[in-house]
Structure 1
Amino acid sequence: MAGNSFGQLFRITTFGESHGTAIGVILDGCPAGLTIDLDFIQSELDKRKPGQSKITTQRKESDTVQILSGIFEGKSTGTPIAMLIPNEDQRSKDYGHNVDVYRPSHADYVYDAKYGIRDHRGGGRSSARETAARVAAGAIAKLFLKHQGIDIFAHVTAVGKINAPNLESNDISELLELREANIVRCADPATANEMIEFIDSVRKDGDTVGGKISCVVKGCPAGLGEPVFDKLHADLGKAMLSINAVHGFEYGSGFDGTELRGSEHNDIPLPKAKEEQQFKTISNHAGGILGGISNGMDITFKVGFKPVATIMHNQQTINAAGEAAEIKGKGRHDPCVVPRAVVIVEAMAALVLADHVLRNRAVKL
């Protein structure tokens, strides 16, 4: 495997580069008969596309998806679904200054070290533009999960040192409305305004800043996940850490849980009525996962993103010969990646869960 595919039964393979003709994805394993809502797929891509606000890159891409196969009369056929997203606004000349110079904290050097060749135009395959293909496939995963009663919601909960309070509502539709009402995609309006002002000031300084995205999965049944190497939280962690600029993943109580005693951290189960399918717990420090398998409670996790590596300041670096050099960022770049990454986090979570739903159908009579 060359690291371009993800999933076992609900499986994707992405292709393309940032400054190539197009990017795309082949989704194999989607069950036949699923109604494919093209408008929904496009709406998901619109949340990730560049040029959508003053706090994102000003590259202009419509990210209009073309479905090439696997769908007939609005339904999946059970055969591979191929989707193509043309690149429309490449400015390869913006990267002429780093043909032989490595950008600090980018993948330039390691691609050279691994392959002996690299596409210097926006990072080529290492560019976050590749994630548009994941969002397209993730949208289909979300449509599949809807049939299972599973919903996924993520939003920005931190930018730099600005942190949003815990959500007061459990209504997904209400939270989506609050999140999409602002350009930073934080479901707390007051915090969102503070975040937007801060990101804009960082942008004007020619600098960048990181942030955090929190995600909750509602309606997930007990029993998803494998007991040893394919634990549900392990697959979620791999999915999130595969996203560009992600430097951290924690689920449930995460690192804060290390400060608690067992008597404080244990989630005490409540007696369930006969008609209930699964039990609930008083607290949810486990984040909805026990022993690598979902327990029916909300699955909760957080994802930490580093500051975007390209800044509009002179920086010391080296060239391909190992000699000292200087470089300054050019082109169009995000001052903070998290507003556009919310839908990517949801997409990767959806792909993991869709895969495990299908895998779980074969484990017992």
Structure 2
Amino acid sequence: MRYLTAGESHGPQLTTIIEGVPAHLDLLAEDIDIELQRRQGGYGRGRRMQIEKDRVQFMSGVRHGKTTGAPIALVVENKDWKNWTKIMGADPITEEEEQEMKRVITRPRPGHADLNGAIKYGHRDMRNILERSSARETTVRVAAGAVAKKILSTCGIRVAGHVLEIGGVKAEDVAYESVEDVKERSEASPVRCLDAQASEKMMEAIDKAKKDGDSIGGIVEVVVEGVPVGLGSHVQYDRKLDAKLAAAVMSINAFKGVEIGIGFEAASVPGSQVHDEIIWDEEKGYTRKTNNLGGFEGGMTTGMPIVVRGVMKPIPTLYKPLNSVDIESKEVFAASIERSDSCAVPAASVVCEAVVAWEIANALLEKFGSDQVEELTQNIEAHNERARLF
């Protein structure tokens, strides 16, 4: 599969075109809308979420509730567009009209794409950069991820995410029995945290950051159960599925680090406490006593749950902004303020689920076929049986 997204934060709509989804997959708008709603939720979100009520429209590739095998075009309208038609319109405007709008951005925000993008593409108005680099783009990435989740669930693979840390407050009680347990408990928390006591402290930290005109980041974790053995490959660097997952997570706005399994902790403990002992029984086939490697060996899935964590930095837009330099006057100014969240880590957990689900679904189709769903599920079932008896 592959997809591209298009659209700006305050443009008329966000669009994604997905190619390679199998035919005969049951797919309804509500399958995607529920994920869009989850992305808009979470403690610490800003006023934009009160304006936008994201809903998807199918423009192609789905007929009578099922995919056809043709490219799927998804659209999410920006309700705020009506207030930005002049500023963000496609038609040419005069210099006088541009001055009247007084919305030209010449003050780059530290930590954002503004200055780098303006230099790269030669824009004196940095709105041409910040509109596209906005995390609003993740709306349709979540939509694409929702399609991927539908493929995975059809094949018995389950995905869930939760928050491990916000602003230095770490969750302690994060043991879970299954992905369904993670889903139920994270959805019950305003910050998508499994630890109820930590949830309260996280919300307090978000409130303090908002009061201080600051922002805070955190760590999210995605868990995937039911993945067959052997997705990905060891034969080339760009075939390793764990590498693809790392790239996907790092592509999320404001993410600065990725771990799989115990991740960086593996540097400080001996190998006897890192590698997962192999066991076998007639019912389950090959499994592991532990899952320190997060479901991967040699760039391939082991059949154990995939565990991926991502680190999100604090959002760059601050209501007590840091200093910057005006690109026109070269004078020092407080950086521009765009409407923003004080903390988007709970929402980022949903985005992380989406990008992880996409990579796993893509690897699944690569191995087992992508023409039609029945063929896909039959191939997976036969493979799982061979792997059990191997």
- TM-score normalised to structure 2 length: 0.85
Secondary structure at 2:222 match in 1 = strand
2:337 matched to 1:330? Answer: yes
Q: How far apart in 2 are the matches of 1:267 and 1:173?
A: 24
What is the aligned partner in structure 2 of residue 200 from structure 1? Answer: 207
Selected match of 1:255 from 237, 247, 264:
264
What is the aligned partner in structure 1 of residue 29 from structure 2? Answer: 38
Deviation for aligned residue 1:328: 4.4
Q: How far apart in 2 are the matches of 1:194 and 1:160?
A: 10
Mean CA deviation greater in 180-189 or 149-158: 180-189
- The 8 Å contact of residues 167 and 218 in structure 2, kept in 1 or not, is answered as yes
Selected match of 2:55 from 64, 70, 87:
64
AA of the residue aligned to 2:165: A
2:263 matched to 1:274? Answer: no
Deviations 1:66-86 (A, max 9, x none): 111100110000001101111
Secondary structure at 1:32 match in 2 = coil
Q: How far apart in 1 are the matches of 2:283 and 2:180?
A: 27
AA of the residue aligned to 1:40: D
Using a 3 Å threshold, how does the CA distance of structure 1 residues 196 and 25 change in structure 2: closer, same or farther? same
- The 8 Å contact of residues 18 and 121 in structure 1, kept in 2 or not, is answered as no
Q: How far apart in 1 are the matches of 2:42 and 2:232?
A: 38
Equivalent positions of 1:50-199 (< 5 A) are 52=41, 55-59=44-48, 60-89=51-80, 99-117=105-123, 119-120=126-127, 123-199=130-206
Deviations 1:308-351 (A, max 9, x none): 00111142211224713212453421111111111110110111
Equivalent positions of 1:235-246 (< 5 A) are 235-246=244-255
Deviation for aligned residue 1:273: 2.3
Q: How far apart in 1 are the matches of 2:336 and 2:198?
A: 30
Using a 3 Å threshold, how does the CA distance of structure 1 residues 96 and 204 change in structure 2: closer, same or farther? farther
- Structure 2 residues without counterparts, runs of 5 or longer: 88-100, 370-378
Secondary structure at 1:89 match in 2 = helix
Deviation for aligned residue 1:121: 6.7
What is the aligned partner in structure 1 of residue 98 from structure 2? Answer: none
Q: How far apart in 1 are the matches of 2:144 and 2:34?
A: 13
**How many residues are aligned here?**
351
- TM-score normalised to structure 1 length: 0.91
AA of the residue aligned to 1:336: C
Q: How far apart in 2 are the matches of 1:67 and 1:101?
A: 38
Q: How far apart in 2 are the matches of 1:166 and 1:53?
A: 20
- The 8 Å contact of residues 107 and 336 in structure 2, kept in 1 or not, is answered as no
Secondary structure at 2:304 match in 1 = coil
- The 8 Å contact of residues 313 and 329 in structure 1, kept in 2 or not, is answered as no
Secondary structure at 2:281 match in 1 = coil
What's the C-alpha RMSD, in Å, of the aligned pairs?
2.2
Q: How far apart in 2 are the matches of 1:33 and 1:168?
A: 37
Q: How far apart in 1 are the matches of 2:263 and 2:293?
A: 9
Using a 3 Å threshold, how does the CA distance of structure 1 residues 37 and 75 change in structure 2: closer, same or farther? same
Q: How far apart in 2 are the matches of 1:226 and 1:171?
A: 27
State the structure with more CA Rg. Answer: 2
AA of the residue aligned to 2:118: D
Mean CA deviation greater in 20-29 or 225-234: 225-234
Deviation for aligned residue 1:113: 2.0
- The 8 Å contact of residues 317 and 338 in structure 2, kept in 1 or not, is answered as no
2:220 matched to 1:213? Answer: yes
Using a 3 Å threshold, how does the CA distance of structure 1 residues 97 and 313 change in structure 2: closer, same or farther? farther
Using a 3 Å threshold, how does the CA distance of structure 1 residues 96 and 189 change in structure 2: closer, same or farther? farther
Equivalent positions of 1:9-48 (< 5 A) are 10-48=1-39
Q: How far apart in 1 are the matches of 2:321 and 2:353?
A: 35
Secondary structure at 2:286 match in 1 = coil
Mean CA deviation greater in 210-219 or 164-173: 164-173
- Structure 1 residues without counterparts, runs of 5 or longer: 1-9
- The 8 Å contact of residues 241 and 248 in structure 1, kept in 2 or not, is answered as yes
Using a 3 Å threshold, how does the CA distance of structure 1 residues 110 and 104 change in structure 2: closer, same or farther? same
What is the aligned partner in structure 1 of residue 313 from structure 2? Answer: 306
Deviation for aligned residue 1:110: 1.3
Deviation for aligned residue 1:169: 2.2
Identity %: 36
Secondary structure at 2:194 match in 1 = coil
Structure with greater helix percent: 2
Q: How far apart in 2 are the matches of 1:266 and 1:209?
A: 34
Deviations 1:234-278 (A, max 9, x none): 0000100000000010101111110011122221111x22343x4
Using a 3 Å threshold, how does the CA distance of structure 1 residues 348 and 314 change in structure 2: closer, same or farther? closer
